Structure 1
């Protein structure tokens, strides 16, 4: 309990001292975030135009993703910065270090792979990857592929004990590493 209190005050002190921008600050400035969203540490939202960003319900944004509602490269050309909205619809997953550019809408039930650079809108039920991001499959095709892997008898499946919150032992961590050296597994 003491550790929780200590971490709380340390975070508040850092916010005041370093003038850190928190999600709640961006929402106060007009950015909209739906219900039941999981926004991981290190996600960068366009502070200068955050009110142009809308995030739906049940959205997960992995660490270090970027959402930019402006493109200042145009300022060199004509003294104006290009700006546009970003709309992330319901039930979207955005992978680590993905970059979402101005003017993009990501349709419902879509997945943006880690490291993707999204410069154009993505239709609903799509899986996209790459630079620039391109559709690699429908959500249904991806689900079939993943379920095939999940149901393969040689696939290792782990319960929630094998997560950061599950109190996994060092022995179990090492065993899991060895089992997954050259293959994919799944954790509940």
Structure 2
């Protein structure tokens, strides 16, 4: 019964609030691969979403923007610039990153949170900044993170919401991480 209620509530919300769901983009021609994790608040360019292709096992963090048009050209030349956005397999796009038209993000690349990607990203590269520039390879990033993890506090799944973290563990985690970072499985 609870499932039916949630289904009806979600459908009513979609109609009343005129929400656009992934299935709406797909119906218009956007391509999304298998096993992708697209977090809440991601904005896809609805006006030209058929120019977007997302590969397999792609993660897009909350509030990222994937744009296929740039209207800033309209007042200058009377036309809006448009371009494809191709996101290849195994890519990670951080929270609030902006992907501009005409960009391909290569296989296994990582786009740091808040970055603005204006040019194609090579496979297995980490990019960051405004505009995003390559900062290191994914292999170098993994090594750097491993070194950091070796000298940091690490927590198991019981320190997560899905692991039903207790009030005591939340307090402990807060105290242990004050002013520094750690890792959780």
* Structure 1 unaligned regions, length at least 5: none
Deviation (angstroms), 1:126: 0.5
Runs of 4 or more above 4 Å deviation: none
SS in 1 for 2:114: coil
Q: Provide the residue aligned with 2:47 in structure 1.
A: 48
The total of aligned residue pairs comes to 185
CA distance in 2, matches of 1:163, 1:108: 30
- Report the counterpart of residue 175 of structure 1 in structure 2: 172
Q: 2:155 maps to which residue?
A: 158
Partner residue of 1:94?
Answer: 93
Structure 2 stretches lacking a partner, 5+ long: none
What is the alpha-carbon distance in structure 1 between the residues aligned to residue 180 and residue 143 of structure 2?
18
Report the alpha carbon displacement of residue 6 of structure 1 after superposing the two structures with TM.
3.1
Deviation at 1:62, TM superposition (A): 0.3
Q: How does 1:1-188 map to 2 (within 5 A)?
A: 2=2, 4-152=3-151, 155-188=152-185
What SS does structure 2 have at the residue aligned with 1:120? coil
Tell me the alpha carbon deviations over residues 12-38 of structure 1, each in whole angstroms, 9 at most, x when there is no partner. 101011221100110111000001100
More off after superposition, 119-128 vs 163-172: 163-172
Q: TM-score, normalised by structure 2?
A: 0.96
